[in-house]
């Protein structure tokens, strides 16, 4: 199963490289696009959940690394929850 990394820029300018065990993230995010924080969270949660399910279908167990990545994203996003205009920019995919 091909894995990938995707790099995002948070509202404070910090860049974060994220992991997915599947290329499905490409169906939910696009490099160069900015997403409102709630939309970004919804998209990454859905993509990483699907990625974990694909691992489970192939290997018989969910991908804990994908779910750990989701938790890391959600935790980092908490700092910006009260900023109505917070956006996350997707910088690149590394496949």
The per-residue pLDDT for range 36-75, each reduced to its tens digit, is: 999 999 999 999 999 999 999 999 999 999 999 999 999 9
9: left (phi over 0), alpha (psi -120 to 50) or beta: beta
Give the number of residues written for the chain.
Answer: 95
Cβ neighbours around 58 below 10 Å, total: 12
Contact partners, residue 33, CB within 8 Å, separation at least 6: 89, 90
Alpha helices (H) along 1-95:
37-59, 64-77
Q: Give pLDDT tens digits for 11-40.
A: 999 999 999 999 999 999 999 999 999 999
Phi and psi, residue 14, nearest 5°: -70, 135
């Amino acid at each position: 199963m091909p894995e990938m990394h995707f790099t995002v820029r948070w509202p404070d300018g910090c860049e974060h490289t994220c992991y997915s065990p599947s290329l499905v993230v490409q169906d939910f995010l696009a490099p160069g696009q900015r997403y409102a924080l709630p939309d970004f969270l919804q998209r990454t949660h859905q993509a990483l959940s699907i990625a974990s399910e694909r691992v489970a279908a192939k290997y018989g167990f969910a991908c804990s690394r994908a779910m750990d990545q989701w938790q890391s994203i959600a935790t980092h996003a908490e700092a910006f929850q009260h900023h109505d205009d917070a956006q996350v920019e997707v910088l690149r995919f590394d496949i």
